[in-house]
Amino acid sequence: MRSTRAALRAGASMAATLPMIAGALALGIPAAHAADGPARDPLAGTRPAWATAKADRGATPDSAPVTARVYLAGRDAAGLARYAKAVSDPSSPDYGKYLGAQQAQARFGATAAQVSAVRAWLTSAGLKVTGVTRHYVSVTGDVAAAEKAFGTQLHNYTKGSTAYRAPAATASAPASLDGAVLTVTGLDNAPHRASAKDQLPAPAAVFRNAGPFSSYYGSNIATALPEAYGTKIPYAVQGYTGKQLRAAYGAGTYTGKGVRVAITDAYASPTIAYDAATYAKKHGDAAWKAGQLTQVLPENYTKTKECDASGWYGEETLDVEAVHAVAPAANVTYVGAASCYDDDLLDSLGKIVDNHLADLVSNSWGDIEANQTPDLAAAYDQVFQLGAVEGIGFYFSSGDNGDEVAHTGTKQVDTPANSAWVTAVGGTSLAVGKGDTYLWETGWGTEKASLSADGRSWTDFPGAFTSGAGGGTSRTVAEPYYQKGVVPDALATANSAAGNRVVPDIAAIADPNTGFKVGQTQTFPDGSQQYSEYRIGGTSLAAPVIAAVQALAQQARGGHAIGFANPSIYSQYGTRVYHDVTDDPTGSGLAVARVDYANSYDAADGLLTSVRSLGKDSSLSAVKGYDDVTGVGTPAKGYVESYRRR
């Protein structure tokens, strides 16, 4: 399945929801009995929840094609998890004792004998091995061969209005492999995974913001518009710059010099170098030096239409420009995936870990937890753990639909942000005042009401929920040790008495109504491609901002890698290094006025005026202390410097 890009253009999602299989290890899923014959080890979670007896439409034809990946558990999976925890925990004697990429592979990766045994098993069943990496063996074949290899029949099941293939029982591997197999993916094919090679499309259609604007929060009051919360309100900012964000989050004199930041998204913007250089010059950021921005790209791209490839260009542009704006001396490596599907996104993450391309990785993509499956969850977590032992930290957007009820009808968190091995980044509305002074933040959550026809009032004020930072309690991931004693019991036990993971961990600017300005080449109505700028938001902004702040912190600690940051982040909970964000910091209600082009480009089709209330994140609330919108809070003055002492 595919991923949802967690960025908003001035309040509207940059892309429709795209399904993705990803997440954290599911708990309590019973494994089906292995097939009769020699002893076999079940591969838990390989039968999807939607493959029920009621939905069963019979056996899949033996000749139907199958493409799968068999992920390798490595020589010491339990030891990998233990060491990943030890090197990340400030209280551990092994804290910061990271391994090199080759050392990690030698200590925890699959042995040549394991790989050989897995290959022999698969080929003996009639499958063709098409590739071998450090992480998996990929195969193709037919249903009959797959059933023989994995000890389960494959049936067709109704899912929604369509029938998809899936295992009728939990897949298994021969016990003689002695635990060499972590999991298998691809036995189910919901949705269909195309394999045609595609060319990247031209940049997406132009999007621009209308005015009036504020240059900083409150600089331009909408005196001609109706009041909100008993007062005249300011126009939304045109888009904060790096200078304003650096001031808000206590960058000081640090620039990220000597630190490597990686960014993952799907595809690759063909104009990123020009756009990033143009943007930096226009906004006073340091010019990019030769070799400071590099890209690691696949040989071919797939599923460009399914994934709306050109829509991902804006994701890459936002991430690259935001990191450089906050950490202008950091080296940035963009690692593009061949598509927005999990296999390809996992390949991108694997390249970073296998080659230690960076110490900090920003990821602005994800999907709802209900779409996760334990097989790929295990594969993701293995990569995150390998990264942890190498001193690599992964930062994931928490999502842009609040508690997801308005979006899916079910209260849930997003994934992979729900993994216990990543830092989930929530979002805020940020007010930076005159002279780049930090004023306040609220939890990001927006309600919208339109201007009445006579211009004298706001219709249905404060209006309906439109978007907000993702957060809440996972249903599948157990509470990690670093959250215990910090996360309130009411949140931790919301879905299980034993306690579950709560999202997010930390937060930064995300609200598109108090957003960041980016510059990107876009396609104009006349067919020309031109550089243009617009305001943007979403937790796709928050993730690269936090990754950039962490680059500053890593510079402050002499360049020594921070690694998986959550234990360190929580160890500082309740101190002055965080802004403790609440939903109503002024006590009077907060809102901004927005004027937008009806056609998203110019005034030819009219203007749309609305009021956007701040701090209204669905059922989630930013309160004093830890909360499920902003986590422990946002970096304050002193946060970066605090890493000098760790």
Instruction: Return the closest-CA partner of residue 407 out of 468, 449, 460, 459.
Output: 468
Asked whether 566 and 576 are in contact (CB, 8 A), the reply is: no
Three-state secondary-structure class, residue 427? strand
- The tally of CA atoms less than 13 A away on the side-chain side of residue 328 is 20
Q: How far apart are CA 444 and CA 402, in angstroms?
A: 9
Peptide bond into 462 cis (omega under 30): yes
pLDDT of residue 438: 98
pLDDT of residue 37: 63
pLDDT of residue 34: 35
Q: Pull the structure tokens for residue 160.
A: 């929604």
Residue appearing with tokens 């579950």: 500
Pairing, β 260-266 against β 172-174 = unpaired
Largest Cα–Cα distance in the chain?
Answer: 80
pLDDT of residue 56: 95
Beta bridge partners of 438: 432
Pairing, β 301-302 against β 500-503 = unpaired
Task: Give the other-Cβ count within 10 Å of 119's Cβ.
Answer: 16
Beta bridge partners of 520: 532
pLDDT of residue 638: 94
pTM, to two decimals: 0.92
Q: How far apart are CA 277 and CA 292, in angstroms?
A: 11
Q: Could you tell me the residue ranges of all domains in the chain?
A: 4-19+202-645
pLDDT of residue 422: 98
The CA-based angle 554-557-558, given to 5 degrees, is 95
- Mean pLDDT in each 10-residue stretch from start to end of the chain (646 residues)? 44 35 30 55 92 95 96 96 97 97 97 97 98 97 98 93 93 96 92 47 91 97 97 98 97 98 97 98 96 96 94 96 98 97 95 98 94 89 98 98 95 97 98 98 98 96 97 97 97 97 98 97 95 96 98 97 98 97 95 97 96 97 98 97 86
pLDDT of residue 126: 98
pLDDT of residue 193: 36
Virtual CA dihedral for 331, 356, 351, 42, nearest 10 degrees?
Answer: -140
Asked whether 109 and 134 are in contact (CB, 8 A), the reply is: yes
Q: Pull the structure tokens for residue 621.
A: 């609330």
Q: Which CATH architecture has domain 4-19+202-645?
A: 3-Layer(aba) Sandwich (3.40)
Asked whether 267 and 301 are in contact (CB, 8 A), the reply is: yes
Pairing, β 65-72 against β 136-142 = antiparallel
- Across 487-542, where does the E strand assignment appear? 500-503, 506-509, 516-523, 529-536
End-to-end CA distance of the chain: 40
